[in-house]
Amino acid sequence: MKASELADALGLPLVGDPGREIATLAPLERAGPDELSFVVGARLRAAMCASRAGVLIVPEALAADCPVDHLISPAPYASYAQASWLLTPELRPAPGIHASAHIDPTATLGKDVSVGAFTSVGAGARVGDGVILGDGCRIAAGVEIGAGTRLFDNVCLSYRVTLGEHCRVQSGAVIGGEGFGYAPTAEGWSAIHQTGGVRIENRVHIGVNTTIDAGAIDATVIEDGVIIDNLIQVGHNVFIGQNTAIAACAAIGGSARIGRNCLIGGATAINGHIEIADGVTVTGTSFVSRSIDTPGSYGSAVPLQAAREWRRTFAALSRLDELLKRVRRLEKATSKLES
């Protein structure tokens, strides 16, 4: 790709040789003369000045000092994200239904749909234009998939799941499993039939082996632009607001309500039935034990110590209550001594 083509595609001004050929992306410190990289801010000025990249995407403020050809962007990282799809285009299977796939005759498929080997599509399912279903996917009866969505391999969409447009679902993810709702009885647990399904809006990304359960009566809902990493559990009737990002291995309890534009760190657990306001950040490995009604950063992760030190801290911790009492006694004794 020529530098000028890249500039046009990204809509950015190019300073340098328009005919320079750019083959691929590379990290800033390693990028060579046919590679593209980027600089987000002043912190990387020195690395930029030492760079031998073919083209750098830089912010206005650093452009004057940039020693190599560059594109000036108000958001270099976002421009770089765009460039990553231009320079290393996605491998997409050609439209068509693999001979081994099983499509129920009552399912409707849009234009230019690709269905992989051993994928099954159930009765009445509706698959939009340009959808890609990988190999071994299970699309239950009645499921709806919006235009431009891609499922990788062995993805399961169960009964009453709707997926919007331009979503991306990684391999092994299961959407619409039965929510974990049981009434205790004298004879043991009695399951409540979970019939609410899952409604996923547009441009939602769902990670590998992530599980999103069907709601009990109402649907589990994931709004536009949410990104969800791998091995995440989303319980029944959870609501996740627009553009919230959730890192790997988070566990979200049933009926939790997460606002818009939240950042949920990895391996975080969120209690069922709580509410998190818009714009909340939860640091990784935390336990959201209660609702959060004010935007800001929250956490409960315990930082690492050497094991020996940690054992000592914990021995002390279990004596904390007693310590409080001893300090109270000392305060009384001291005030008596003082008077």
Give how many residues touch a second copy by CB under 8 A. Answer: 126
- Does the annotation count 70 as an active-site position? no
The nearer residue to a second copy, 64 or 186, going by C-beta atoms, is 186
- Can you tell me which of 151, 156, 200, 221 binds a second copy, judged by CB under 8 A? 156
The nearer residue to a second copy, 108 or 159, going by C-beta atoms, is 159
**Residues 75-94, interacting with a second copy (CB under 8 A):** 75, 77-78, 80-82, 84-85, 88, 90-91
- The count of other CB atoms within 10 Å of the CB of residue 335 is 9
The whole-angstrom separation of Cα 164 and Cα 223 is: 9
If one asks whether residue 29 binds a second copy (CB under 8 A), the answer comes out as no
Task: Using alpha carbons only, give the angle 95, 243, 41 rounded to the nearest 5 degrees.
Answer: 100
Q: Give the rounded distance of the alpha carbon of 233 from its chain centre.
A: 12
The nearer residue to a second copy, 18 or 330, going by C-beta atoms, is 330
**Residues 172-211, interacting with a second copy (CB under 8 A):** 172, 174, 177-178, 180, 182-185, 188-193, 195, 203, 205, 207-209, 211
Burial class (CB in 10 A: 0-12, 13-18, 19+), 180: middle
If one asks whether residue 42 binds a second copy (CB under 8 A), the answer comes out as no
Closest contact distance (angstroms) between CB of 78 and a second copy is 4
CA distances from 308 to 311, 319, 323 (A): 5, 17, 22
If one asks whether residue 46 binds a second copy (CB under 8 A), the answer comes out as no
Tokens (6 digits) for 36 = 């593209």
- What is the amino acid identity at position 102? H
Closest contact distance (angstroms) between CB of 153 and a second copy is 4
| Partners of 281 in beta bridges | 263, 297
Q: Which residues are catalytic?
A: 236
